[in-house]
A and B are shown apart, each in its own frame.
Chain A
Amino acid sequence: MLRRIVSRLATGALTLLLVTLLVFGLIQLAPGDPMAVQDDGMERLSAADRAALEAYYGFDRPVAVQYASWLGRLLRGDLGNSIRDRRPVAEKIGERLSVTLSLNAMALFLIVTLSVPIGAAAALNPGSVADRWSATATYLLYAVPIFWAALLLQRLFAVRLGWLPLYGSGGVTGIPRVANMVLPVICLTYGGLAYVSRFVRANLLESTRFETILSARARGMTRFAILVRHGFRLAAVPMLTLAGFLIPALFAGSVIVETVFQLPGLGWLFIDAAYQRDLPVLLGVTLISGAAALAGILFADVTYALADPRVRRG
């Protein structure tokens, strides 16, 4: 068992390496050199100045050497310095991590807590009105672009009613305030309800103990309560695998949420870096988000292996 886990972790590390290689390779495809980006478009840098800067940043070396040196520094725990403001990438990521983490954690938590009852209600009577409507309603939510939902929520709760802050993380320390996170979290949550609740429904129906569970009604609980309770327990393990894939999806969604709500998080940092060709920052953010996604997948794999006797044997 232990060996399995260790080898899984090793392949995980390999994957992470491939992720950085992929991002590094993609950026090399982009036209224009990072130095050109530093000029503001007025073409004021002379050729000599540009060459000097290229040497300063090490962009004059062969691509393979650049990658190797980045990797070498990474092993020493150094993510390099941003090209945009020359601050250490680790510091830039650090000050934005808490916003993205709390945003995603809250959204993930809400998606799971809301999806189980919805999925359970649907599983209660497959094909029933409740089932059909929950499907339609969640898919309708899924189809609302985040930028529109954000705008409508902002206008209603922040501008008209004045109940919630319109933008920003609110905190001076970098830790976001709860009130500031309510609207962003809603925007990040509603889209995930459809797939996860359908997933819960499918898993409940699939469960061999489905009928047994329902017969527990004898103990005086409503069928729905039983289903929700068992929904959590039954769906827990398969849901873990889903969580591994939900993390990158949520992270992607948080790009737009962060832009609209002016939340200084990693997604926003990434977009800026992509436009600026800020290679060290792009690599750093991808590494962190990749590691988070991978951790989700690995955690799911390992838990799955521990929980499921079939996998354990195999």
Chain B
Amino acid sequence: MAERTGRPASLNRGLALVLVLGAIAVLAPLWAQDPLRIDLAATLKSPSGAHWLGTDALGRDLTARIAYGGRVSLGIGILTSLFSLAIGVPLGALAGFRGGWTDAAVSRLIETVACVPSLLLAIALLAMSPAVLRGIPDVLRVALVLAFAGWIPVARYMRGEFMRLKSAEMVEAARAAGASDLRIMVRHLLPSALAPVLVTASFAAASAILVEAALSFLGLGVQPPQPTWGGLLSDAREQIDQGWWLAVVPGLALYGAVLGFNLIGEGIRDRLDPRASTR
């Protein structure tokens, strides 16, 4: 079946989507207007030559807000998945490789965090804003809070992979050659385990972007005036009959990013191991 499911097409499509959106966002300062510039004389204007996608309730240029919002939304997605990797990979690897007490401890930790619904955890953390999270820029704070639960699937997957791989012959061979545990883990096991973990990381990015939108709706996401796609969408909800343009394009951008990251995940999975599952 492997030949039939190996479709790099979805990987390419996903990468293309994310890269295009990323480029629009990253290059925003080069071409877009000031996303914070308020113009009370031009509030809620529909798309025109001056404002390609119209203006919001404060007369701010929506094109610019979407472009700059992408920096925040994509940033949160990517940072969350990086943080998740940074916590999940070492913990999962250690648990899988060492087994015994280490494994028992990490497994309890994984199970504990997995049992608290992640959105509830994020809500509690952001609503009560503990002192340790104060002073951190919003993007980083939201990403950290999301990664607090986001590392779970990564660690779980990593643990499974390392458990499976550690009995492989090459590990025995390396050990016989006098390699240390750390060396075996980093040099021999990590490369083969890491790639499938990227699948999980890619899905994590997609879900982080969506969760940020949910948090914006609850008033707990990245704070205004900083635009985010989720924030723009949740604002537009209040003006559904006054400005259709306020919702459509941020919505499409959000679609694009979520779809893009998911396609990347699917693509990597199909390319690497058509038999892998979302587990």
Contacts and interface: CB of A to CB of B under 8 A. Distances in A.
Complex: A in contact with B (CB within 8 Å): yes
Interface of A: 11, 14-16, 18-19, 22-23, 26-27, 29-31, 126-127, 132, 135-136, 139-140, 142-148, 151, 155, 194-195, 198-199, 202-203, 205-206, 210, 238, 241-242, 245, 248-249, 251-253, 255-256, 259, 267, 270-271, 274-275, 277, 282, 285-286, 289-290, 293-294, 297
B116 to A, nearest CB: 6
Interface stretch (B29-37, B42-50, B233-241): B233-241
Contacts of A270: 120, 123
Nearest to B124: A274
A139 B258 contact: yes
Interface in B174-224: 203, 206, 210, 213-214, 217-218
A255 B258 contact: no
Contacts of A23: 116, 124
A126 B274 CA distance: 11
B229 to A, nearest CB: 10
Given A16-B115, A147-B217, A274 B123 contact: yes
B128 A293 contact: no
B125 to A, nearest CB: 7
16 contacts: A15-B112, A23-B116, A127-B7, A132-B10, A194-B262, A198-B266, A202-B277, A251-B117, A256-B214, A270-B123, A271-B127, A286-B120, A290-B116, A294-B111, A294-B115, A297-B115
Nearest to B112: A18
Contacts of B203: 195
A241 B111 CA distance: 13
Interface string B261-275: 011001000000011
Contact of B117 (A199, A210, A289): A289
Interface of B: 1, 4-5, 7, 10, 108-109, 111-121, 123-125, 127-132, 203, 206, 210, 213-214, 217-218, 230, 233-234, 237, 240, 247, 251, 254-255, 258-259, 262-263, 266, 274-279
A15 B115 contact: yes
Contact of A147 (B5, B237, B254): B237
Contact of B233 (A139, A148, A282): A148
Given A22-B112, A143-B254, A274-B128, A202 B120 contact: no
A289 B263 CA distance: 32
B259 to A, nearest CB: 5
Nearest to A270: B120
B247 A248 contact: no
B117 A205 contact: no
A64 B29 CA distance: 52
B237 A143 contact: no
Contacts of A30: 128-130
Question: Which applies to chain A's interface (DSSP): helix, strand, loop or mixed?
Answer: helix
Contacts, number: 165
B266 to A, nearest CB: 7
Contacts of B259: 136, 139-140, 143
Contacts of A31: 128-131
A241 B230 CA distance: 31
Contacts of B275: 202, 205-206
Contact of A286 (B109, B116, B262, B276): B116
Given A148-B237, A248-B115, A205 B125 contact: no
Nearest to A293: B115
Which among B121, B218, B247, B278 has the highest number of chain A CB atoms within 10 Å? B278
Nearest to A138: B262
Contacts of A271: 123, 127, 218
Contacts of B210: 142-143, 145
A270 B129 CA distance: 16
A73 to B, nearest CB: 21
Given A140-B255, A210-B1, A245 B114 contact: yes
A299 to B, nearest CB: 13
Contacts of B129: 30-31
B277 A199 contact: yes
A277 B128 contact: yes
Contacts of B1: 126, 205, 210
Contacts of B5: 126-127, 205
A26 B126 CA distance: 11
A242 B279 contact: yes
Contact of B130 (A29, A146, A195, A256): A29
A111 to B, nearest CB: 14
A139 B206 CA distance: 10
B101 to A, nearest CB: 13
B4 A127 contact: yes
Nearest to A145: B213
Given A19-B116, A30-B130, A255-B117, 5 more contacts: A30-B129, A31-B130, A145-B217, A147-B217, A202-B275
Contacts of A26: 121, 124-125, 128, 130
Which among B120, B210, B255, B275 has the highest number of chain A CB atoms within 10 Å? B120
Given A126-B5, A127-B5, A143-B259, A251 B120 contact: yes
